[in-house]
Structure 1
Amino acid sequence: MTSIFLQSPHNIGRLTNLRHLNLSRSYFSGKIPTEISYLSSLVSLDLSSLLVYRLQLDQTTFETILHNLTNLEVLSLYAINISSPIPVNISSSSLRYLNLEFTNLRGTFTQSFFLVPKLENLKLGANDLLKGVLPKIHPSNTTLLELDISNTGISGELTDSIGTFSSLNILNLKGCRFSGSIPDSIGNLTQIRYLDFSYNHFTGHIPSTISQLKHLTYLSLSSNSFSGELPDIFSNLQELHYLYLSNNSFISSFPSKIVSLTHLECLDLSYNSMNGTIPSSVFSLPLLGLLWLNNNRFSGLPDELKTNPTLVRLFLSHNQLSGSFPQSLSNLTNLSILDLSSNNITVDEGNQITFPNLKVLMLSSCELKDFPHFLTNVKKLQALDISNNKICGQIPNWFSGIRWDNLYYLNLSHNSLTGHLPKFHFHNIGYLDLKFNFLQGPLPSSVCNMNYLQSLHLSHNNFSNSIPSCLGSMSSLKVLDLRRNNFTGSLPPLCAQNTSLRTIVLNGNQFEGTLPFSLLNCSNLEVVDIGNNAINDTFPAWLGTLQQLHVLILKSNMFHGPISTCQTTFCFPKLRIFDLSYNQFSGSLPAKVFGNFKAMIKLDTGQIKYMGPSQLSLYQSYEDSVSLVIKGQDIELERISTIMTTIDLSSNHFEGVIPKTLKDLSSLWLLNLSHNNLIGHIPMELGQLNKLEALDLSWNRLTGKIPRELTTMKFLAVLNLSQNLLIGSIPQGLQFNTFENDSYGGNLDLCGPPLSKQCETSDPSHVPQPLEYEDESYFFSGFTWESVVIGYSFGLVVGTVVWSLVFKYRKPKWFVEFFEGIYPKKMRRSMKRAQRRRT
């Protein structure tokens, strides 16, 4: 049968006597043939796909299947792209099982399915375009055993009619948009075993009638807006295995009667406002394997933990637990995961605690002042997090000498560690995080022995010397973050034998030389940030061949020359952050290069996501971060959203006109072309950048009027056109009514609000002539008023000479070299301060 569908799919309609057709879990793609709806004898049809939306089913064929196949009892179209509304009429009176999950159903949810007399299983989950409300159900249908409408757009209040489904075993409303209270009629679902109302907007109290659901094994009410005291209704649910009540607003003490639930395996009360102590009896639950109590206000940790040797996972993070690390925890001989993060816990070095089966230990954001010495007794550790504590001094020899062959995750970040990085013996480590410490010296060559390393974070330390060349040939490495250190020398041949690297952040070091061409081997590269170094090179147009590159930051180096275009057809197709500021680039603005930025041209209207591998390990995810000038301020973004788009070419030597083709970058948020030698008019076409939030064209030689078309940019929050040669009245309307004088300062022939100069006092025939600045670094691109004041520190005479030279004549080269040689840093700081005041 499979071969017929593959070779001649349209011939399948000839099999009119076929009763069962199962092509599920296949890798077919393309359009499902209409002829499949001719199989009138079908009793079961399963076309479920392993790959979402690889198969398409048109609306007509879908409706025909539900209307004509009257013998059909089982229909599963899981993960097939139907992209049509739910049919109003369904004639298949024999239908018992219907699975339409992940089918891109849309439109308004109707009661048509509830009118099918024999329907037992209805699964419509993961169709977020499916809207409407849950219709009032009449008791005519008592056969339904499963109703799953999770992760859809169905909203409104849950009506009392939900109680008419007295035969339901499974009710899944997770991730919808229901509001209001849960009706008392929920207690009529006496056969229910699985009930999930999580991630909605339910309010009020949990109805007491839930205590009548004696067959319930799974109950989740997490991530709603329930409030008040937690009702004592769970002791009757003796079959309950899983209870999730997290992320609400319960304020009561721990529900002590919950200890009577002898089958309970998982209890989650995290992210509430519960208070008091945790009764020791909770640890005597025979089958309790998972306990989440984090982010409450529990104040004590029971000593009687030894009563539950079967406890496997214990989560008590984000509470107000205090005191020393409990000795009694060592009695939990089967404990595998222990999370006490974000508490006021210290470690008594006298404790001889042993954890024979401990694999994960999380003690971040506690009050630790030393490495816990009991770690010498832990032999099977896979993950250790003692970050964000008060540990100072050198990493002890006993710690670096431990041989944890299975250690995969180690986080020592945000402490006060000093000295050199020792030689670790963790050869299987995948995630090493040492950022925000005071470690110094060279990076030891032992890092080359970490053959499975995926993520290396050494940022914000004092490491020096060159980095080991082996980092360029580690086949597993995905993230290399060495920012804000003192590394020197040339960049090693990164990706020399490696194509896994996706993030390279070397910002804020002292690297020099040129960019290694070996980066071309990094086919998965998404982020390149080498800003604030001393790289001396021309524009690396060859990086445009990296089809996954999203972020390119070269700012504050010694790059020079024009911006050349790459020779490939698809050049920088996914680039969204492009920062070349504070370099020595010259020539005209690269209009052809801008035309390649497809990700800035096509507006991404999808859900906001953040860059970085979603999960590098079982214990820690990673998200990219960069430092950008946003609205006049240097801001370090801890996360990069997938809709952030910026171009910063400021503080270079670009000349010529602003290209009109910038208008095509319709998703651009930030554009900074300030401190260059640009001439000509401001293109009125820039007004088409309707997503732009910040526009800085200051400190250039732009002429003409401010285009009225710029007033149509409704999201524009920051505008800086100061220190140009603009003329005429300032246009008014929308965002332009919010800008102050600083946006226009230094343009002597501008008039009208917000400036005090009235337009009628100007001579309309007067057109200002460009100042005769032949030198490329003319006055306004290199000096501020603060730098002029510096001249007075040499005395009144020298200051007077400086003043006359500045304002009477063009700036001589000896003058530029003298002052820029002595005060480059001060001048740059003053420019930044002036810019911050303006924005």
Structure 2
Amino acid sequence: MRLWDNDLKGNIPTSFANLTKLSELYLFGNQFTGGDTVLANLTSLSIIDLSLNYFKSSISADLSGLHNLERFSVYNNSFSGPFPLSLLMIPSLVHIDLSQNHFEGPIDFRNTFSLSRLRVLYVGFNNLDGLIPESISKLVNLEYLDVSHNNFGGQVPRSISKVVNLTSVDLSYNKLEGQVPDFVWRSSKLDYVDLSYNSFNCFAKSVEVIDGASLTMLNLGSNSVDGPFPKWICKVKDLYALDLSNNHFNGSIPQCLKYSTYFHTLNLRNNSLSGVLPDLFIKDSQLRSLDVSSNNLVGKLPKSLINCERIEFLNVKGNKIMDTFPFWLGSLPYLKVLMLGSNAFYGPVYNPSAYLGFPSIRIIDISNNNFVGSLPQDYFANWLEMSLVWSGSDIPQFKYMGNVNFSTYDSIDLVYKGVETDFDRIFEGFSAIDFSGNRFSGHIPGSIGLLRELRLLNLSGNAFTGNIPPSLANITNLETLDLSRNNLCEIPISLGKMSFLSNINFSYNHLEGLIPQSTQFATQSCSSFLGNIGLYGFVEICGESHHVPVPTTSKEPEEPLSESEDQLLNWIAAAIAFGPGMFCGFVIGHIFTSYKHKWFIAR
């Protein structure tokens, strides 16, 4: 019986109890709330799928009489009560999925049928607690185990190593502690292991990786493991994704990682690693994402990064790297995110003899370094990805940056709306520039107005001079704009038309003239304009006490763009159109009218 994805409500009809010859029951994707007790009478069933409904009861019926049942799936409901142990008495059962419910209490496999055929057990996203029982060893044919997002505590039982057919194990988001279980490196079939967000604190004193270890994904992120970087990882030759972030690892990153040629994702963020970032990256490297941020790394960026032609995400923020701006990374065709902030980089970020490149860049953070110099007016002209305007059909299938196959997502720290914020996931369409806390001078390049998809712009804490470029008004989706602590002179009235602009900081400049009288400016904090004695029009923002009288001399209405700036932008737009092709030229001229996205998932 296939009744999935309808609008059926209420209880499963009691008359279903008469369908004693029924072999398959698919009721997923409806709005049923009860009536599951009739299932115990349907002894011919091989498949039961009640997923994606609104069941609220406990599974109190004795299901052990369903001798033909092979698949039982009730994920994404509101079932509560204890784990239904009667399921484990069914010798034919191959697949159990109880995830995303409210089951609670301990779980025990002692009464499991001795010749269990169970291959899949998913109980993630519940309220189960206690220890993972030693009796898990009775599930001898188990291949896929997911107990994530529960409240299991204590140590992982050694008996789990007897479940020799395991290929995928997810124990993340629990309260497990002690030694990292040794089945991780002693299995020839294990492919995927996620132990993140627990309290594991050490490895075994002696780790012997077996020949033929097939591990491709290991996530130990957000635990309390300390000690030197585990060099045994170099012996796992097929490792595709490694996450050791948010632990207490120290010492240097081993050179032997160079021989792990299949690395796609390497995340060592927020540890105490020291020394230099070694030359790990051989020709034809498969690396897509490298995050070594928030460590104590020194030296220079390794030039071997140029071999990572597929890299999309590079984060070295929050170290002590001392180097010049890496113009040579600009040739990497897929690099979307470049995070160099809070290091000791120095010198100019513009070299007339070096092509700036970065054709795919969407997020760049070079804040809090020692970069200097001025930027030419066409500085941002080649950053085409920030110029492209997405329509609904263009939005990527997988909307967050990362590896969806392994559920590993890129994450960054950014000053967002004035607050240092750590974001777990980044929307593919988000664009941001943070050049704050350096010593840039001269005028803000007018070509910034070409970046129509920009959502965050932070140029604060520099020495920019002149007027704020009116071309900023072209970035109609800009949400946060920080130009504070510079030497800027005038606010263009046209900025008042930026309807998405929700956070503005123009404080401590040399601004003069009228503050744009628009909703976006009127809703800002008074502190956004402090330190500009020549500004007026404060009444709606700060009240009468901060009001500066309007000058009696007349003021010419401001043009949206000066003639020279207008010519510059026209010239740059024409160059973009004919350089990468007519498509980009048309897209840049298109006005994007979509809704405001939720760009991040914040911790």
Q: Which residue of 2 aligns with 1:703?
A: 489
Structure 1 residues 486 and 682 mapped into 2: Cα distance closer, same or farther (>3 Å)? same
Structure with bigger gyration radius:
1
Deviations 1:624-672 (A, max 9, x none): 1111111111111111110111000001111111122111111100000
Deviations 1:83-122 (A, max 9, x none): xxxxxxxxxxxxxxxxxxxxxxxxxxxxxxxxxxxxxxxx
The answer to whether the 8 A contact 1:404-1:425 is kept is no
Structure 1 residues 703 and 531 mapped into 2: Cα distance closer, same or farther (>3 Å)? same
Residues 213-612 of structure 1 aligned to structure 2 (within 5 Å): 218-224=24-30, 226-232=31-37, 234=39, 240-254=45-59, 256=61, 261-278=66-83, 280-294=85-99, 295-297=101-103, 299=105, 301=107, 304-306=111-113, 309-326=116-133, 329-343=136-150, 365-368=151-154, 370-392=155-177, 399=182, 403-418=186-201, 422=205, 424-426=207-209, 427-564=213-350, 571-589=357-375, 591-606=377-392, 607=395, 609-612=399-402
The answer to whether the 8 A contact 1:472-1:498 is kept is no
Give TM-score, length-normalised by structure 2: 0.81
Q: Which residue of 1 aligns with 2:403?
A: 613
Q: Which residue of 1 aligns with 2:578?
A: none
Kindly state the Cα deviation for residue 692 of structure 1 after the two structures are TM-superposed. 0.6
Which residue of the other structure, out of 423, 438, 443, is the alignment partner of 1:652? Answer: 438
Instruction: Tell me the amino acid that sits aligned with residue 749 of structure 1.
Output: G
Measure the CA separation in 2 of the matches of 1:638 and 1:565: 34
Q: Which residue of 2 aligns with 1:760?
A: 549
Which 10-residue stretch deviates more, 374-383 or 204-213?
Answer: 204-213
Kindly state the Cα deviation for residue 516 of structure 1 after the two structures are TM-superposed. 1.7
Q: Secondary structure at the match of 1:687?
A: helix
Kindly state the Cα deviation for residue 540 of structure 1 after the two structures are TM-superposed. 1.0
Instruction: Tell me the amino acid that sits aligned with residue 256 of structure 1.
Output: A
Q: Secondary structure at the match of 1:690?
A: coil
Instruction: Tell me the amino acid that sits aligned with residue 695 of structure 1.
Output: L
Structure 1 residues 311 and 340 mapped into 2: Cα distance closer, same or farther (>3 Å)? same
RMSD: 3.2
Structure 1 residues 263 and 301 mapped into 2: Cα distance closer, same or farther (>3 Å)? same
Q: Secondary structure at the match of 2:333?
A: coil
Kindly state the Cα deviation for residue 480 of structure 1 after the two structures are TM-superposed. 1.3
Measure the CA separation in 1 of the matches of 2:442 and 2:322: 24
Matched, 1:196 2:4: yes
The answer to whether the 8 A contact 1:466-1:488 is kept is yes
Measure the CA separation in 1 of the matches of 2:455 and 2:152: 40
The answer to whether the 8 A contact 1:194-1:216 is kept is no
Q: Which residue of 2 aligns with 1:57?
A: none
Deviations 1:799-827 (A, max 9, x none): xxxxxxxxxxxxxxxxxxxxxxxxxxxxx
Instruction: Tell me the amino acid that sits aligned with residue 494 of structure 2.
Output: E
Structure 1 residues 678 and 404 mapped into 2: Cα distance closer, same or farther (>3 Å)? same
Kindly state the Cα deviation for residue 695 of structure 1 after the two structures are TM-superposed. 0.3
The answer to whether the 8 A contact 2:414-2:420 is kept is yes
Kindly state the Cα deviation for residue 680 of structure 1 after the two structures are TM-superposed. 0.7
Structure 1 residues 684 and 208 mapped into 2: Cα distance closer, same or farther (>3 Å)? farther
Measure the CA separation in 2 of the matches of 1:389 and 1:253: 23
Q: Which residue of 2 aligns with 1:739?
A: 524
Instruction: Tell me the amino acid that sits aligned with residue 652 of structure 1.
Output: N
The answer to whether the 8 A contact 2:336-2:362 is kept is yes
Q: Secondary structure at the match of 1:587?
A: strand
Deviations 1:510-533 (A, max 9, x none): 222222221111011010111111
Measure the CA separation in 2 of the matches of 1:511 and 1:275: 49
The answer to whether the 8 A contact 1:196-1:221 is kept is yes
Q: Which residue of 2 aligns with 1:116?
A: none
The answer to whether the 8 A contact 1:400-1:425 is kept is no
Q: Secondary structure at the match of 1:480?
A: strand
Structure 1 residues 211 and 680 mapped into 2: Cα distance closer, same or farther (>3 Å)? farther
Structure 1 residues 238 and 593 mapped into 2: Cα distance closer, same or farther (>3 Å)? farther
Kindly state the Cα deviation for residue 195 of structure 1 after the two structures are TM-superposed. 4.2
Measure the CA separation in 2 of the matches of 1:466 and 1:376: 31
The answer to whether the 8 A contact 1:230-1:251 is kept is no
Instruction: Tell me the amino acid that sits aligned with residue 306 of structure 1.
Output: F
Measure the CA separation in 2 of the matches of 1:287 and 1:420: 38
Instruction: Tell me the amino acid that sits aligned with residue 549 of structure 1.
Output: L
Measure the CA separation in 2 of the matches of 1:289 and 1:394: 31
Structure 1 residues 641 and 423 mapped into 2: Cα distance closer, same or farther (>3 Å)? farther
Q: Which residue of 2 aligns with 1:4?
A: none
The answer to whether the 8 A contact 1:551-1:575 is kept is yes
Which residue of the other structure, out of 711, 721, 724, is the alignment partner of 2:509? Answer: 724
Structure 1 residues 424 and 329 mapped into 2: Cα distance closer, same or farther (>3 Å)? closer
Kindly state the Cα deviation for residue 542 of structure 1 after the two structures are TM-superposed. 1.4
Structure 1 residues 565 and 428 mapped into 2: Cα distance closer, same or farther (>3 Å)? farther
Measure the CA separation in 2 of the matches of 1:462 and 1:276: 38
Measure the CA separation in 2 of the matches of 1:597 and 1:654: 19
Kindly state the Cα deviation for residue 461 of structure 1 after the two structures are TM-superposed. 2.6
Kindly state the Cα deviation for residue 326 of structure 1 after the two structures are TM-superposed. 4.7
Measure the CA separation in 1 of the matches of 2:478 and 2:509: 21
Residues 793-808 of structure 1 aligned to structure 2 (within 5 Å): none
Measure the CA separation in 2 of the matches of 1:703 and 1:515: 37
Kindly state the Cα deviation for residue 209 of structure 1 after the two structures are TM-superposed. 7.5
The answer to whether the 8 A contact 1:194-1:217 is kept is no
Kindly state the Cα deviation for residue 239 of structure 1 after the two structures are TM-superposed. 5.8
Kindly state the Cα deviation for residue 550 of structure 1 after the two structures are TM-superposed. 0.7
Structure 1 residues 531 and 591 mapped into 2: Cα distance closer, same or farther (>3 Å)? farther
Give the count of matched residue pairs: 542
Structure 1 residues 205 and 384 mapped into 2: Cα distance closer, same or farther (>3 Å)? closer
Q: Secondary structure at the match of 1:306?
A: coil
Instruction: Tell me the amino acid that sits aligned with residue 288 of structure 1.
Output: L
Q: Secondary structure at the match of 1:250?
A: coil
Percentage of matched positions with identical amino acids: 37
The answer to whether the 8 A contact 2:132-2:156 is kept is no
Unmatched 5+ stretches in structure 1: 1-192, 344-364, 767-839
Structure 1 residues 729 and 759 mapped into 2: Cα distance closer, same or farther (>3 Å)? farther
RCO (CA 8 Å, sep 6+): is it higher in 1 or 2? 2
Instruction: Tell me the amino acid that sits aligned with residue 409 of structure 1.
Output: Y
Structure 1 residues 474 and 700 mapped into 2: Cα distance closer, same or farther (>3 Å)? same
Measure the CA separation in 1 of the matches of 2:27 and 2:272: 51
Structure 1 residues 562 and 570 mapped into 2: Cα distance closer, same or farther (>3 Å)? closer
Instruction: Tell me the amino acid that sits aligned with residue 474 of structure 1.
Output: S
